Every structure is written in C-alpha cells, then in structure tokens.
Structure 1
Amino acid sequence: MTATPANQSGADQSGADQASPTERLIITVNAGSSSLKFGVVRMSDMVEIGRAEVEMIGTLKGPSANGRGVHLDDIGNPPEGLADHAGLTAWALGRITDIVHHLGEVVAVGHRVVHGGASFSAPVLIDDAVIEALGRLTALAPNHQPHNLSGIAATRQLWPDLPQVACFDTAFHRTQPRLAQLMPIPRELSDDGILRYGFHGLSYTHIASVLPDYAGDRADGRVIVAHLGHGASLCGMQGRRSVATTMGFTALDGLMMGKRAGSIDPGVVLHLIRDRGMSAAEVDRMLNARSGLLGVSGISADMRVLEASDDPKAEEAMALFAYRAAREAGSIAVALGGLDVLVFTAGIGRHSAQMRARIADYLAFLGAEIDPAANAAHGPVISAPDSRVLVLALDTDEEAVIARETARLVFA
C-alpha cells in the first residue's frame, strides 16, 4: 500500500490505491540548522525525480519552500506559524506524498544524521536503541543533531511502520588512523570519546564514488577534497578512504566558514569567559553564528555577496578564507605525503572560480596550477595541461548517498 500520512483523508488514500503504483520510491531527508532538503528517488534506476527545500527556518521572515523537478514544483509554502523542524518535516512529507502518490509507493525514508560518534561507522536501520544512542550525541552537534532527530520523529509519527535509515556525516572518517583521531589531551578523555570525528562524510562519500570517472587511476592516490560551503572542511584520501580531515570533535573546528570561526587559539575562549565576562552560551553563539566570513567582513556570510562588494572588509574576509583553507590543505598534504588530485566541491568550491584560484595559487608549490579559462567555465577539469596535480570542480550529492544506502539496507 502507498505510504500515506496518518492525517491524510480516507478519500485521498482511496485515490492512491486506485493508482496502483508499481514504482518503489525512497524519500531522503537532509535537516540542516536552518533548512530542510527532501528528495524523491525512484528505486528502479536510483534517479532523483524531484527535490524540495524549506529554507529560513527560525528567521524573522519565516520559512519558505521551493521545489525542483517537475513533480515537486507545486509544493507550496508552509502554513503561517509553522516554524519548527519537526512540524515542517511532517508538513513537507505530507505535501510530497500528495504530489507523488500516483507515481509510486514510498517504501523507505533515509536521513542525514550529522553525528554518529564512535559507535556508528556505517548507515543503520533506525530503531528505539539507535534513537536513544543518537540523542546522547546531541551535545556534540547542538546545531544539527536535534533537527536530525526531530525529522526522524516526525517521519515515525506519519508512518510508524515505514523503514528509516540513518546515514552519518562522521562515518566516512572512521577509517582514519588513530593518530589522526587523537587530540593531545589526557588519555582518559580520549578513552571517553573525546576524539576528532570529522564531518561532511556524505559529501566525501559521493566524491569518492565518482572520482575514478574524472581522475582515473589517480583517484586512488593522494587526494584532497575541499568541501567549501556555508560549512567548510577538507578531507585527505588515499585509496578513496579518509586519512585526515580538518573538522574534529565538533563541526566548529578547522576552516573558516560562513558564520563559524573554525580553529582558534583555545586561550581566546578562556579570555572571553574569564576576563570579558561572556557566558559559555554567548561564546558559543559568537563562534558558531557571528564569526567566519560574516564576522570578519561585517557584511555577509554569503561568498557571492562578498565577491560583488567593493568594501575592503569583504576582500579581507575572502583573503583570510583562502589563506586558512590553503594552510590546512598544506597540513593535509603532509598527512598524505604529497598531492595528486585536488577537488573543489559544495557551494563555494563548485561555483566560485575566484576562490578556487586564490586557494590553488597558494598550493602551486605542491604542483597545482589552474587553467584560467577552464576555471571560469567551472570545469570539471580546471587544472592546466602541464599541472602536476589534477584539479577538479565537481558537484556533490549527499541525497544520492542517502538514497543508495537506504536502498541497500532496507532491500538487500
């Protein structure tokens, strides 16, 4: 029977039954700190037939929705007053199934879950024990984990018996050697799970899966993938497995980001609390929501806005973003023992030719040389013909990874 929200009318259900769908569909749910992304994937060929996004959750403007793909173009906007992730997830899933019920049967839902801790090294079917374990990790990803869990809860309420799968941003990095996961803190804290976990694993999983199509045998060599978006990190791969990454215990570590500071001297945190009287919550907000591109520029967290600005503070923010990314890339290259392939992906990495050129210029000593025309055309190959390092600009697709892993677990 076609999966139908519990609050959908009997008349609607009758219409779904009369449609007698034969296609099996998977819905993917990707809950961010202020957005929700949904995909509908046809299992027969694993093609995404539609995508919808609810944006600006928790803003003064209120959330708005948009669809992509012919089947979700008319998803509409949420009812006024609906402003939390759980309610918006339930609303969006209901609207999506209303739209696609005649196309097939929703047979499973896959979720992006930011933090899987040390226990989850691969996607898992969700049950009560998994939900309880993920709840204990909320403090490690406070801006994302609660929303991931609220999406799972909303899906359960709509479809209590429908299989759900959790796909973890941390899982890809569990192949890292122990030294890459350790921090120089007392051993008992490391033994208690305070480790470098890394994030953006679904994005890196996708890039690893498609890399041979663009890099051939070099895909299994020394690769740095730069996931540069509102959140940003680097991952060093060998054999298309994670060796080192810039994010650590939380998604606040590493690169300068849209609103997050990335790595800073921990003494700054102590100074702000001890000498400037800031509370832990105030420092948390500063580092997570008032720093990065927004904080340095005082203008915007959006790279497109900064690139269009002639304000010198915008230029300084972009220059610092590139400098910090290149410095971290040099660190990753040390862990790899060199560099064969450099991949740019995510919103900034895929679409900002200017930022790619800035970062690659710093990495010329490693053999990375960009072809200006190819870079302006956004690739996928953007390196010069005589560049020792192959440089690529590739799309990432976290939803495709979620759908694939959900199908594998539910129907294997």
Structure 2
Amino acid sequence: MKNILVINSGSSSLKFQLIQMPSEKVLASGLVERIGLDGAKIHYKTEDSTTSRELEIPDHGAALKKVTDLLMNKESGVIETSEDIDAIGHRVVHGGNTFSKTIVIDEEVKKAVKNLFSLAPLHNPHNLKGIEVAEKLFPNATQVAVFDTAFHSTIPSKAKQYAIPTEFYKDNHIQVYGFHGTSHKYVSEQAVKYLKKEHSRIISIHLGNGCSITAVKDGKSVDHSLGFGPVNGLIMGTRSGDIDQSVIFYMVEHLGYSTREVSDILHHKSGMYGLTGYSDLRDIQQKAAEGDKQCQLALNMNAYRIKKYIGAYAAAMNGLDAIVFTAGIGENSDVIRELVCEDMEYLGIEIDSEKNSQRSRDLRTISTENSKVKILVIPTNEELEIAKQVEELVDGN
C-alpha cells in the first residue's frame, strides 16, 4: 500500500486528497480557500469527521503547513509522521512542449515549470510554490508533476497548428496545448470501460466555471476546444470562448482599450457573466425559469456553442459512440444537458428527459434506448487520476 498526497494549488486555494493506493481509499480530503485574503478557511474531511474553520493563512506555504498539521493531528489525523507519505502528486497546469507525460520532480523540472510561467501566469507560479513547500514538509516523499496539457500531446499537427507564419510555431511554440487534460483522460477512460469497444470515438465535455470539449479517438485526444490559452472554445463563466479576432483589434484601435484591458474583459468580464451579470449557472437557470429573456438567451447560446463542437468533432472522428458530460455543470445541470442534446437526432443523439432529471454520483446513461450515441454523465475525479499516474510512475522506477 502507498499513501499518495495529491495537491492542486490554485491562485488563492489549495485542494488536497490523501489516497491509499492501489485500494483507491480516500483517507482525508479538503480545501484551503481565500489564501492571502480575509476570511481564509480550511475544510478537512476524513471517514470519521468533518471540520471547517476560519484561520489566518497568508500564503500557500502556511496553507500546506496547516494541511500537514491536520493530517498528523492526534485526534483527527490519519498519519503519524510526514514519513508516512510515500509520494506527492502535484497538478501542474501547463507543461508546454517540454512535458508530455507525468515526471518525477527534480531541479531541472522545477526550472522548466518556471520557464512556462508566461503560458499560464495564473496557475504555474502557484503550482511551483506548492512543489517547493511540499519538498520542505515531506523531504522523504517522491514529488511528481502531473501536467494538465499532457493528455493533449497526441493532438495531430493538422489540429494543433494555427494558420499563421510557421516560424511562430517552430520558434515561439505557438500552438494548441489544451487544458483540463486530467479530467478528460479520467472520464474518457471510464467511458471506454463502459462501452467495452476495442475502437471508440468519444466527445468529453468538461463544464465548470472553465469549460472545454475534447475529441477522444481510441483513448487519445485528437482535438480540443481550448488552445494556446484557456479563453477560447466554449462559453464559460467569465470567459468569452471563441471570438472573431477583428473584435479585439476594433476594441483597441477604435474604442480606446489597451490590450491588457481587452484581455481582462475576455477573461474575467465575458462569458455568462458578461451576458447576464451572473457567473454562477444556478443563478442564471433560476432567472431564466422566472422569465428573464437575457438569461434564457445566454443558456441557449451556451448550448448552441457546445452543439457546434459536437458536430465538428463527430466529423473529425468520422463517427461518434458516446458523449460525456462532466465537472460541476456537466454533472449537475439537467437544463444544459437537455438544451445541448435536443434536436440532435441526425447525429443519433437522443436524450431521455426522465433519466436526465435524476441525480446520482455514479456513472449513468441518460440517452434513450433507441439512441445510437450513448449520452453519459460521469463524475470527474482528477485527484484519483493524478494518484493513479503517480503510483504507476513510482512503481515503474
């Protein structure tokens, strides 16, 4: 048995799970939120207890130290010393062209992650900080980096290159990298197991505050909606998704916005928030149900964008066996799933409204018996996927 601690460091949060492998038993899990801000909180859960309390947590180092203290606490802890942790899996958002697989962390890896800060300025710096702190707190544990972009390294050149001068690709590495790879890998593998098909064509739809959609053929990512950065593709909570580049030039050249201001608008003030004034889909669905025309339009725009990608990816793979809804919205919003799947009979997609309205934390089918394409809802588990990859790597060394 191996105890693997999975750490996901965000800009002001730190999620963690301590998983015993290969049994996949979660010994402890939790979240530290509002790091460096007023009202910081730590949530901690074990099989026997659940606690939440407000603390002063100035930085990620202090956050991970609090987590360590809880894990080794005499009353609520699940380990005795830091040496009980065999390995630590760190989610790193961007691996660029440097990393296409999970890797044991050394000084060269840390240097490379730092060199990629410009590609993921909101994530990679915090990911690296989590690594550095964990090395000090768990000096005997094997530190492993699992990259969100790695799953998409199989995307072929015809799909990953942009039609701009080739030197930008060769010299500056401007291309489709893709994100949410750990989530897409996990749910697509679960779908393959469910389908029991030697060859499979699956569309994985990750819908949260950030959204993306992936074409997965025979277990490999062959196309993906997020590209060089995390703002294009589907309509998201505050991000615009696909937009005509001319709009950006117009905003700068004729409306007087700076490029930094335009970037801020597209990342933080657009998407569902820009359309409705709300970024939480639950609020938008409630307002739409009450008759708010703008919220109704936003929901229809959101679903329409997803439909277009489903059509494109079905064409790219020359067919479709299943579509998978996952992540917070994908797993919980029967409204979005219904809007996406209605009027898709031409592609063999038929949703069962009664099945769709039911709630479950397990893999479930929400398509009709006659539907040629399976419609699946599969809860994502990025932490377990990271633990699996860490275990496989450590056992192989």
User: TM-score, structure 2 length as denominator?
Assistant: 0.91
Shift of 1:316: 2.0
Structure 2 contact 239–268 (Cα < 8 Å) conserved: yes
SS at match of 2:90: strand
Establish whether residue 358 from structure 1 lines up as the match of residue 342 from structure 2: no
**Secondary structure in structure 2 of the residue aligned to 1:316:** helix
Q: Matched residues in 1 for 2:280 and 2:329: separation?
A: 9
Task: Identify the residue that residue 156 of structure 1 maps to in structure 2.
Answer: 135
Question: Deviations along 1:176-231, whole A, 9 cap, x unmatched?
Answer: 111111001110001121110111110111113222332221x7322101011111
**Could you tell me which residue of structure 1 aligns to residue 321 of structure 2?**
340
Q: CA separation of 1:71/1:96 partners in 2, compared to 1, >3 Å: closer, same or farther?
A: farther
Match of 1:197 among 172, 177, 184: 177
Q: CA deviation at 1:38?
A: 0.3
Q: Work out which of the residue numbers 174, 177, 192 in structure 2 matches 1:212.
A: 192
1:100 maps to which residue? Answer: 78
Structure-2 change in CA distance of 1:56 and 1:354 (3 Å): farther
- Give the structure 1 partner of residue 50 of structure 2: 73
- Please give the alpha-carbon distance, in whole angstroms, between the structure 1 residues aligned to 2:270 and 2:72: 39
Letter in 2 for 1:368: I
Contact 2:100-2:151 within 8 A present in 1 as well? yes
User: Once the two structures are superposed, what CA deviation does each residue of 1:144-192 show, in whole Å capped at 9, x if it has no partner?
Assistant: 1111111112212323342111101111111111111100111000112
Provide the C-alpha distance between the structure 1 equivalents of 2:258 and 2:281, rounded to a whole number of angstroms: 30
Aligned counterparts, 1:358-377, within 5 A: 358-377=339-358
Matched position secondary structure for 2:86: strand
Paired residue type of 2:32: V
> Contact 2:91/2:145 (CA < 8 Å) preserved in 1?
yes
CA contact (8 A) 1:342 1:391 kept: yes
Distance 1:95 1:270, change over 3 A: farther
Match of residue 388 from structure 1: 372
Instruction: Note if contact 1:86-1:147 (Cα within 8 Å) is conserved in structure 2.
Output: no
Distance 2:86 2:265 in 1: 42
Question: Shift in Å at residue 44 of structure 1?
Answer: 4.8
Aligned pair count?
385
Instruction: Say which of 55, 65, 76 aligns to 1:90.
Output: 65
1:325 matched to 2:300 = no
Go from structure 1 to structure 2 and tell me whether the alpha carbon gap of 1:216 and 1:24 turns closer, same or farther (over 3 Å shift).
Answer: closer
Between 135-144 and 50-59, the greater mean CA deviation after superposition:
50-59
Distance in 2 (CA, whole Å) between partners of 1:34 and 1:256 is 23
Deviations 1:242-275 (A, max 9, x none): 1111010111121111111111112222222222
**CA distance change for structure 1 residues 84 and 258 in 2, over 3 Å: closer, same or farther?**
farther
Cα deviations across residues 331-379 of structure 1 (Å, max 9, x unaligned)?
Answer: 2122111222111111111111110010011533211000111111146
C-alpha distance in structure 2 between counterparts of 1:89 and 1:270, whole Å: 43
Task: Note if 1:254 corresponds to 2:233.
Answer: yes
State the 1:83 CA deviation: 4.1
Deviation at 1:285, TM superposition (A): 1.7
**Which amino acid letter does the alignment assign opposite residue 193 of structure 2?**
D
Shift of the 58–318 alpha-carbon distance from structure 1 to 2, 3 Å rule, reads: farther
| Alignment of 1:30 onto 2:14 | no
Alignment-derived partner of residue 19 in structure 2 = 41
1:404 and 1:166 map into 2 onto residues whose CA distance is 12
One-letter amino acid matched to 2:43: N
Offset at residue 136 of structure 1 (A): 1.2
Instruction: Name the CA distance, whole Å, in 2 between partners of 1:313 and 1:96.
Output: 47
Contact 1:258–1:302 (8 Å) recurs in 2: yes
Q: Is the 8 A contact 1:52 1:72 kept in 2?
A: no
Check the 8 A contact 1:224/1:237 in 2, yes or no: yes
Structure 2 CA distance for aligned equivalents of residues 69 and 365 of structure 1? 47
**Two-structure CA RMSD over aligned residues (Å):** 2.0
Distance 1:293 1:228 in 2: 13
Once residues 111 and 71 of structure 1 are traced to their aligned partners in structure 2, the CA distance between those partners, rounded to angstroms, is 26
Q: CA contact under 8 A between 2:191 and 2:324: conserved in structure 1?
A: no
Task: Describe the shift of the 1:376–1:235 C-alpha distance in structure 2 as closer, same or farther (beyond 3 A).
Answer: same
What secondary structure sits across from 1:308 in the alignment? helix
TM-score by length of 1: 0.88
The separation in 2 between residues aligned to 1:247 and 1:362, in whole angstroms, is 25
| Structure 1 position 78, deviation (Å) | 5.2
Distance in structure 2 (CA, Å) of the matches to 1:335 and 1:398: 27
**Could you say if the C-alpha distance between residues 277 and 97 of structure 1 is closer, same or farther in structure 2, counting changes exceeding 3 Å?**
farther
Q: Distance in 1 between matches of 2:125 and 2:9?
A: 9
| CA deviation profile, 1:55-108 (whole Å, cap 9, x unmatched) | 34466x53322233325623x43532x243343233323333432224981111
For residue 26 of structure 1, report the CA deviation from its aligned partner. Answer: 1.0
1:237 to 183, 205, 216: 216
Please say if 1:398 is aligned against 2:374. no
Residues 1:161 and 1:280: Cα distance change in structure 2 (over 3 Å): farther
Native 8 Å contact 2:27 2:78 kept in 1: no
SS at match of 2:196: helix
In structure 2, the CA distance between the partners of 1:143 and 1:403, relative to structure 1 (3 Å rule), is same
* 258 and 57 in structure 1: CA distance in 2 versus 1, 3 angstrom threshold: farther
Residue type at the aligned position of 1:358: L
Match of 2:33 in 1: 55
The worse-fitting range, judged by mean Cα deviation, of 27-36 and 132-141 is 27-36
